[in-house]
């Protein structure tokens, strides 16, 4: 960061580092900071430092936490582990609140294009968890794209000899979607996995 920038230009430059933030938006954020209460800005700055200093990966599931072991791993009892790609996927499941799984965050998917193999994501840690405890089912909830599917297939394959049930999120038409606009692959999956009423 250049040292001779005005404080406001420097702040704008930092907002632009957040990703997907252009100059105009960063400028708007910076002006908003000038308009905010001093107390709020101080707490904002503290929150930034707090997150950077205290947030790290849970040593069991790999989700973000401010403790050694996250709240979910610490307090929840379940024999189902839901395997997701990123911490924000855990947030998505937790919002639903319909099931009490444990989670396992892979921090990525197998992707030959990005030179990412099974050893680059947290699959080894998943196997150790399975060997260590009473896990009955692994629900693979990676995204239904090429990388996510490849990762799911790989996990299913290595779980077969361990005699652990491996499931995948159902694929089909989204609730509220318009069949007219559903893509062919989705429609095909929905027909294949049709359920009896």
**3-state SS class at 165:** strand
Q: Is 41 in the site for a copy of itself (CB under 8 A)?
A: yes
Give the integer Cα–Cα distance in Å for 86 and 64.
10
Site residue total, a copy of itself (CB under 8 A): 43
Distance CA 67, CA 55 (A): 8
- In the numeric block, which tokens belong to residue 60? 């069991």
The reply on whether position 88 binds a copy of itself by CB under 8 A is yes
| 74 binds a copy of itself, rule: CB under 8 A | no
1 binds a copy of itself (CB under 8 A): yes
Instruction: Identify the residue among 22, 47, 68, 76 touching a copy of itself (CB under 8 A).
Output: 47
CA distance 131 to 146: 28
Contact 82, 139 (CB under 8 A): yes
96 binds a copy of itself (CB under 8 A): no
Q: Of 48-56, 73-81, 112-120, 144-152, which part binds a copy of itself (CB under 8 A)?
A: 48-56
Q: In terms of C-beta density within 10 A (0-12 exposed, 13-18 middle, 19 or more buried), how is residue 181 classed?
A: exposed
Rounded CA-CA distance 66/70 in Å is 7
Binding flag, residue 64, a copy of itself (CB under 8 A): yes
45 binds a copy of itself (CB under 8 A): yes
Measured CA distances, 187 to 148, 153, 177, 197 (Å): 19, 21, 11, 18
Say whether 88 sits in a helix, a strand or coil: helix
6 binds a copy of itself (CB under 8 A): yes
C-alpha gyration radius of the chain = 22
The minimum distance between CB 61 and a copy of itself, in angstroms, equals: 15
Q: Does 145 help bind a copy of itself (rule: CB under 8 A)?
A: no
- By CB under 8 A, tell whether 108 contacts a copy of itself: no
40 binds a copy of itself (CB under 8 A): yes
In angstroms, what is the minimal distance from the CB of 99 to a copy of itself?
A: 21
116 counts as binding a copy of itself under rule CB under 8 A: no
Residues that bind a copy of itself (CB under 8 A): 1, 6-8, 10-11, 14, 17-20, 25, 27-34, 36, 38, 40-55, 64, 66, 87-88, 91
């Amino acid at each position: 960061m250049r040292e001779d920038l005005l404080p406001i230009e420097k702040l704008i430059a930092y907002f632009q580092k957040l990703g997907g933030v252009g100059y105009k938006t960063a400028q708007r954020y910076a002006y908003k900071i000038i308009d905010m209460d001093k107390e709020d800005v101080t707490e904002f700055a503290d929150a930034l430092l707090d997150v950077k200093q205290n947030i790290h990966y849970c040593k069991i599931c790999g989700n973000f936490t401010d403790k050694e072991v996250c709240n979910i791993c610490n307090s929840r009892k379940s024999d189902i582990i839901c395997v997701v790609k990123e911490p924000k996927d855990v947030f998505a499941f937790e919002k639903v609140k319909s099931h009490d799984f444990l989670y396992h965050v892979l921090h990525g998917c197998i992707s030959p294009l990005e030179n990412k193999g099974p050893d680059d994501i947290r699959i080894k840690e998943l196997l150790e968890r399975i060997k260590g405890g009473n896990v009955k089912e692994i629900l693979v909830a990676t995204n239904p794209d090429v990388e996510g599917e490849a990762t799911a297939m790989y996990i299913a394959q290595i779980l077969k000899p361990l005699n652990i049930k491996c499931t995948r999120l159902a694929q089909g038409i989204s609730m509220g979607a318009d069949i007219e606009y559903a893509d062919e692959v989705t429609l095909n999956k929905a027909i294949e996995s049709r359920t009896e009423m």
